[in-house]
Structure 1
């Protein structure tokens, strides 16, 4: 029986102004960006087969739709493209029209189900979904929803809010110590069960309701951050979006800024510099910055400085760094800071400042700041310590200090071997091997020894 031509897909290609070969090239870019190496062989013939009615297999429909979404500057779903593959469950969280409670239920249940989790991981990081909603959306989300008194719902009070905040802080401390690959599933279980029930409970007043939504938003944000740290970008993105929806429903502008800052950080790491700058600019807009505490303003500011440096706005980046330092300097014990900023102090500011200076090609300044971060960071932040050391070693070797870099990188492996489960830290070990390769071939003893140790470590975690 003859196949029916996929006229919907063909119309989208025409709207994009793409030939079959151009569509294949765009597909490969998205696949490569998401480390989906099994899909980097796609050619014009594959696209032509899809137009002719053959169904793309595996994750190919989602990859193709992401490529089209970027080109057309709107979200293109698999059904719109005429593919029978179901959309990723992450799309509910990424769609600003979907209620956050529905998104939490769908995202959490899929993430926790071993048989369905592959659907979530079958997505890709969506640059098209980074477009933020209009100002009217934020205003509408912050409105008090109509009350729905039900006898079977539990009463939720101030103590329940504090319980959620304390639990989230405990997971956050564990993340700083062990990395995002340790304990995230337990956090998702807590969000999907206890926190989801609180959100549909009976509140004594609007203040407690908003505070509970804010506490839930921090938990969703943290789940996204842990996934990001573990290199699971396709999972991190919908949790960040879910956290942003919950924060908007709470009317919590500073928390919204904090989550936008994290989204900018992730986008920056993925090399989407202009998108990162858009997100970081949004993170410091209006009350998101003005209503934030000094420590949080410093965190927002330093990530914005990194995004400015990455996009070539060097003078403004330097000015923004100075302001971030001033903000952190104005933080003191008399000011009550949100628990989500407990980790951001002198060491963290130095780390982010070093990254900015490195991107400004001030390698000497970057080395000094990375060193300052290493010296001032406490033992409770083992994951971040390993990442900082990794960056420090890479910067040292870039200026020819090979022996010094080897000593630094040896300390990275010391930290990793003590039980750090972090994709970002692991990537520093991969980068280490790449940068050491020419020196290993020359037979430099320190490089040879470190390469052997790094290879042994990666074999144990792969």
Structure 2
């Protein structure tokens, strides 16, 4: 019988209850009862739409805090077993049906985003196409264009810009004048990024200016942003982060770093841990390109603080890239020394130094040599101590082995 939990439905029911652990049990039962009622032909109203929105919102919050590899199968189960039957049900009005299809599109869009974050780009693209179909069927102004915007962003990230400008322009055309000012700013800033990628610098900067003006205008008026427009949280940090990518593409690393840090500072860090960490890493890389090593290390240390508990291919790649970027500075005689009371490290405890031998001075956080995240470590040129009468430890051995000693012990 439909709606009954039996052996065949046990895995789906288990996944559903685990995913909904953050919600009150009574509310979870209410959602299940509404889905069962839809299967039996009961007319669907806004209460069911709001239930789906709340569940998708819970999945979205979990994704931002813990990364795309958390809860993916549970979201698939929920969309397949609960949302799909609701979309096939009978609705009180056409407007309620449109809102339900839009909520379903938002859920599939999130599934595409989770796949993207897990490094499954082909699967993400297929989910985006399904989300686009549901958005088109809903008929809500701008929603289909928003999915096109997301697909343009994916192409830019993968360095496949062949159709990105066309997607961004078409998405903007479908939203312009039909959505609020803040939501239109989201479309314009991605369009600016595609213009920058094609070498149209003046047009890109002009579009960034229009996006910022729309953002300020909508913020002052208190425009209500549609649910699908909040896929990555508050609008302002999303605009700042994408603006940073425009400046980075145009070679303005100073402005790009400032925008990345501005975006990270304006997001609620507890809810959006992953994107805050990625913005900080991007800012740290730009500091490094400008030769500002201490600021790069400090910013990278802040990013690492936000990555705890996040399961994301993108964050792992960001850490790997930052390590590679810092490697040349290690080879130039920079040493790292951990604070042994602040974080896990697999190396041996510190050795007591001989009197007169100075070690590196404490400066900024960076990643330890063992690969463990250490909060307080030093990065400074190693200087020889004043004791020159005796043979200096490490003298006479090849430079590459002395570098390893310096790297490990600090002298």
TM-score calculated relative to the size of structure 1 = 0.63
Aligned match of 1:394 in 285, 289, 296?
Answer: 285
Between Structure 1 and Structure 2, the one with more helix by share is 1
Alpha-carbon distance in structure 2 between the residues aligned to 1:181 and 1:242: 20
Shift of 1:315: 0.7
Counterpart position of 1:307: 194
Closer/same/farther in 2, CA of residues 378 and 453 from structure 1, 3 Å limit: farther
Counterpart position of 1:45: none
Counterpart position of 2:242: 352
- Please state whether the residue corresponding to 1:212 is helix, strand or coil: helix
Alpha-carbon distance in structure 2 between the residues aligned to 1:152 and 1:372: 51
Aligned match of 2:227 in 330, 339, 344?
Answer: 339
Counterpart position of 2:333: 443
Task: Give yes or no for contact 2:39–2:85 (8 Å, CA) kept in 1.
Answer: no
Counterpart position of 2:50: 162
Shift of 1:152: 4.2
- Please state whether the residue corresponding to 1:378 is helix, strand or coil: coil
RMSD: 2.2
TM-score calculated relative to the size of structure 2 = 0.70
1:279-290 → structure 2 map (5 Å cutoff): 279-285=167-173, 287-290=174-177
Closer/same/farther in 2, CA of residues 447 and 254 from structure 1, 3 Å limit: farther
Shift of 1:447: 9.8
Aligned match of 1:223 in 101, 105, 111?
Answer: 111
Question: How many pairs does the alignment contain?
Answer: 307
Shift of 1:357: 0.3
Deviation beyond 4 Å, 4+ runs, structure 1: 446-449
Shift of 1:173: 2.0
Cα offsets for 1:117-147 (capped at 9, x unmatched): xxxxxxxxxxxxxxxxxxxxxxxxxxxxxxx
- Please state whether the residue corresponding to 1:445 is helix, strand or coil: strand
Counterpart position of 1:317: 204
Name structure 1 gaps, 5 residues minimum: 1-111, 113-149, 458-462
Aligned match of 1:182 in 48, 58, 70?
Answer: 70
- Please state whether the residue corresponding to 2:89 is helix, strand or coil: coil
Task: Give yes or no for contact 2:64–2:272 (8 Å, CA) kept in 1.
Answer: yes
Higher alpha-carbon deviation: 239-248 or 404-413: 404-413
Shift of 1:327: 1.3
Shift of 1:212: 1.1
1:208-287 → structure 2 map (5 Å cutoff): 208-285=96-173, 287=174
Task: Give yes or no for contact 1:299–1:324 (8 Å, CA) kept in 2.
Answer: yes
Task: Give yes or no for contact 1:181–1:422 (8 Å, CA) kept in 2.
Answer: yes
Shift of 1:394: 0.7
Shift of 1:453: 5.7
Shift of 1:289: 2.6
Shift of 1:450: 3.5
Task: Give yes or no for contact 2:186–2:235 (8 Å, CA) kept in 1.
Answer: no
1:70-109 → structure 2 map (5 Å cutoff): none
Counterpart position of 1:372: 262
Closer/same/farther in 2, CA of residues 260 and 335 from structure 1, 3 Å limit: same
Task: Give yes or no for contact 2:264–2:280 (8 Å, CA) kept in 1.
Answer: yes
Counterpart position of 1:197: 85
